[in-house]
Amino acid sequence: MIRLQREDFDPGAEIAAMTAGRTDIGGLAAFVGLVREMAGERRIDAMTLEHYPGMTEKKLAEIEAEARRRWPLQASLVVHRYGRLEPGDRIVLVVTASAHREAALASCQFLIDWLKTEAPFWKLEEGPEGAGWVEARASDEDAKRRWR
């Protein structure tokens, strides 16, 4: 399942909902991305996440479908926020569940790596010296390339 939303999410509630009443899940992996106050040397007062409505949902759904082709997953969830966020706020949640831990852990990492380079989101950071668009990191492309 994928969700794109302005409002916050509750990782614990999502994890609980995914495992409730099930006895076929041996391992569940989760990743939560949060807004940090410091980006290297720069202080962040707020961050605005812009996205491409329509294409974002489409790419997130494709990325999730790809994970489910690669690993035998009992369940998967990607929640990504957009709009204005402040340090400490949650940005993204990925949860995967499988009979075995290897599939849960690998697919969770795959989802966040792919999402970082494939999903059309952009971050505008606001700090004491003004606002600036975050530049893409080469290491994110490297992280994705592992999964080819």
Partner 1 sequence: MALRRPYLQPMKLLYFALFRARIGRGEEEIDPPAGIRTVGALVDWLAERGPGYRAALADPRLVKVAVNQEYVDRDHPVGPRDEVAFFPPVTGG
Q: Catalog residues that contact a second copy under the rule CB under 8 A.
A: 10-13, 15-16, 19, 21-38, 87-88, 99, 101-102, 104-105, 108-109, 112, 139, 143
Smallest distance from a second copy to CB 51, Å: 19
What does 142 bind: a second copy, partner 1, none (CB cut-off 5 to 8 Å by kind)? none
Does the protein bind partner 1 through residue 124 (CB under 8 A)? yes
CA dist., res. 131 & res. 37, Å (int): 14
SS (H, E, C) 109-143: HHHHHHHHHHCCEEEEEEECCEEEECCCCHHHHHH
When the beta carbons of 64 and 113 are compared against a second copy, the nearer one is 113
CA dist., res. 37 & res. 141, Å (int): 24
Does the protein bind partner 1 through residue 105 (CB under 8 A)? no
What does 23 bind: partner 1, a second copy, none (CB cut-off 5 to 8 Å by kind)? a second copy
Closest of 27, 35, 32, 26 to residue 13, by C-alpha: 32
Non-local (6+) Cβ contacts of 80 within 8 A are 2, 3, 4, 5, 51, 56, 60, 91, 92, 93, 115, 119, 121
Smallest distance from partner 1 to CB 94, Å: 9
Smallest distance from a second copy to CB 67, Å: 15
Tokens 């957009």 map to which residue? 82
Q: Which of 52, 72, 84, 100 binds partner 1 (CB under 8 A)?
A: 52
Residues binding partner 1 (CB under 8 A): 33, 49-52, 54-55, 58, 80, 91-92, 101, 112, 115-124, 133-137, 140
